[in-house]
Chain A
């Protein structure tokens, strides 16, 4: 079958994001909760979306419909939830729930049959409480709901890329029929906060965040700056090493003459 021919030497990826958004429940909403969920404090949505956002929307990512290559996304919630395995077979690939605690969500992504690929899974730590608590823990030991509600929705998203190696011709054709919306070049909205870049906390405040190419560039620059520092340090230490080696050689020569 001609379609089952692999495109050798081709690596094609699709940028995605996964993560969650959480908001504090208002007292009215809380009153509507069934009795067994009375202690729930947050409403959250965990989702897998395309990385680029629709302009002027309050949703992070999701500019493209990923169902052209994703068949199913299953979210494994905490065991205390009713039927914790939630399978989502059509977009949007997301699960909304209420809850009171943070936990690890296992996200399993299966691809359409044309891909001929196995399911992949990834973990996401469901984030309910504001990031500022994490960065300066002294601020609020016990998150009080009023203050947290004031800070607005909590966003926790991880950018990632799903990489296909040597795709089948048919799958390749499907993929290239759906080019991903490129990420905006410049920052238009707040930066999605990430624990790997604590400095982005300020930039992450004030609205729905959006992933941009600028973030990639910024991170690349941070890595390069760090490398320059490391290399400078390395030069210094190499100098010290060479000095020391010379000293050692001298000492050994002295030893030689002493023994002779």
Chain B
């Protein structure tokens, strides 16, 4: 957009028309030559007394038409006379010093700016649309303990801190890495932070119920892919590239050219030898007629000019030979042709086979699955009706899920078309439903805890520093029991694990009244005690470490 001209500024400030400036010396006007068309007065003035070149004189610059923002011939009184925005047409624009609302602001600060009086006063502040909130994932305590506490290098507090920073700096990791300063935390590199952030996001995506299909889920997952090792290696490599001395670069280039030259000579040698063998022994040489060496003969830009010239010469040579092979129906070429057909055969067939199989399988209602290597005959699943495999919600949440299904008008006990796909869809629906029910349960639990904490707060402020020991144990007990009944969405296998995680959380939550650090270690100790049968080294658990192996 063109910037405001002097005339616009004048009209904004409600000043009169510009008077001829005093600095304009008569010297500039002196040359008898007229100002060329299309050249601004100011630019012309800058040229000074020197004669403009012919080029500027004849090349009429094609500029965009100047926007009619206002006329400079309006004096103050006249402008005030045109009060309403409706009458400001005809090249006369009224500007207003107006307060505006910035939708991107949350603090309600009011600022003012100059606007064209004709614009709608209630219009959205146009740049507000650029204030895009990045979608930073958040997780609940339950989700954290269930899926995210696997990485013992990170505590929940530090992960919270990281996510808070990522949110605050809109996912700009360089800023996050710069500002990252977790009290009493270990030193984290930028890659560590990225790795943690992306791995947490991936886990959340993978474990949360997904509304769309698998493909879109995988697409989203891949957008959160981060390979820490690779990133570190890449950075190291870039750093080493950057730190080369000019001599080293020169040497490298020389070596590269040398290498290319050697490769080419070798290839030429080989070709010559093959040629010789072919002329001497013919088919018996067992050599294919055409050597495909184009791939090697395309020297890269760094290879130097001379090589590329010779390379193209060689490739021309091979082309000629190909032509010869095509024209003369020698037994050699025939055999090679058949050989190539044979060579081409299998891959083509392989490609066709699965497609044909898929159509066949669809027609015959066949589903093939990988056979586990250690399958034995006793594991045979007898014939069944598909309706018998209709998924059922887990008994812990069954009634609530049934209620939810009723609200959604889905009959989950019997499907109209109980095909494999529909059964799978129903299953994922039930899974999502039970995780919703569990989330609601958790909300209830946390609400209760909030109420308890509020009451305690009231009690503490009343009774001074008296500690609510009874309530602490109460909270712990409740959250532990809640953890036991709210098993994970992953199925029956996870129940034990979840209960454990929740227990830790329960202790954690109850003890936060005293000291966060000490309680966490207590929680870990408890777990370790349980595992101490298999793990010999039980030391202080505050360090976390690789004692606990949870695999998913």
- Please report A residues at the B interface, Cβ cutoff 8 Å: 6, 8-15, 111, 115, 117-118, 120, 122, 158-166, 175-176, 179-180, 182, 194-198, 200, 211, 215-216, 219-220, 222-224, 226-234, 237-242, 244-245, 247-249, 251-256, 258-259
Contacts and interface: CB of A to CB of B under 8 A. Distances in A.
Contacts of B392: none
B425 A224 contact: yes
B446 A248 contact: yes
B140 A245 contact: yes
Contacts of A211: 417
A244 B389 CA distance: 39
A180 B404 contact: no
Contacts of B381: 165-166
A222 B446 CA distance: 33
19 contacts: A10-B368, A159-B417, A159-B418, A163-B383, A165-B382, A180-B365, A197-B411, A220-B421, A223-B425, A227-B425, A227-B428, A230-B433, A231-B432, A238-B439, A248-B449, A251-B457, A255-B453, A255-B457, A255-B460
Nearest to A227: B429
Interface residues of B, number: 73
A100 to B, nearest CB: 26
B416 A196 contact: yes
Contacts of B210: 231
The 6 closest A-B pairs by CB, nearest first: A196-B411, A161-B386, A231-B211, A9-B371, A251-B453, A216-B417
Interface in B427-481: 428-429, 432-433, 435-436, 439-440, 442-443, 446-447, 449-450, 453-454, 456-457, 460-461, 465, 467
B140 A182 contact: no
A209 to B, nearest CB: 12
Given A216-B417, A219-B416, A259-B513, A234 B454 contact: no
B279 interface: no
B408 A230 contact: yes
Contact of A230 (B140, B209, B443): B209
Contacts of A255: 453, 456-457, 460, 513
B88 interface: no
Contacts of B365: 12-15, 161, 180
B366 to A, nearest CB: 5
Contacts of B509: 248, 252
A258 B460 contact: yes
Contact of B386 (A13, A219, A222): A13
B380 interface: yes
Contacts of A238: 138, 140, 143, 439
A221 B408 CA distance: 13
Given A233-B436, A244-B443, A256-B513, A175 B450 contact: no
A226 B416 contact: no
Interface in B350-393: 363-371, 375, 377, 380-387, 389
Main secondary structure of the interface of A (DSSP, over half): helix
Which of A111, A175, A182, A219 is packed against the most chain B CB atoms within 10 Å?
Answer: A219
B383 A248 contact: no
A247 to B, nearest CB: 6
Contacts of A247: 450
Given A165-B383, A234-B436, A244-B443, 14 more contacts: A11-B367, A13-B365, A15-B365, A159-B418, A180-B365, A196-B415, A220-B421, A230-B404, A230-B408, A234-B208, A240-B443, A245-B140, A255-B460, A256-B514
Contact of B439 (A10, A241, A253): A241
B233 to A, nearest CB: 36
Contact of A251 (B440, B442, B450): B450
Nearest to A122: B385
A164 B453 contact: no
A22 B426 CA distance: 31
A176 B362 CA distance: 11
Nearest to B362: A182
Nearest to A215: B417
A6 B380 CA distance: 10
B139 interface: yes
Contacts of A242: 138-140
A78 to B, nearest CB: 22
B422 interface: yes
Contacts of B408: 226, 229-230
B450 A248 contact: yes
B386 A237 contact: no
Nearest to A221: B425
A242 to B, nearest CB: 5
A228 B425 CA distance: 11
Nearest to A117: B383
Interface in B506-551: 509, 512-514
B383 A259 contact: no
B203 to A, nearest CB: 15
Nearest to A157: B416
Interface in B182-229: 208-211
B419 interface: yes
Given A216-B421, A230-B404, A182 B432 contact: no
B209 A241 contact: no
Contacts of A195: 411, 414
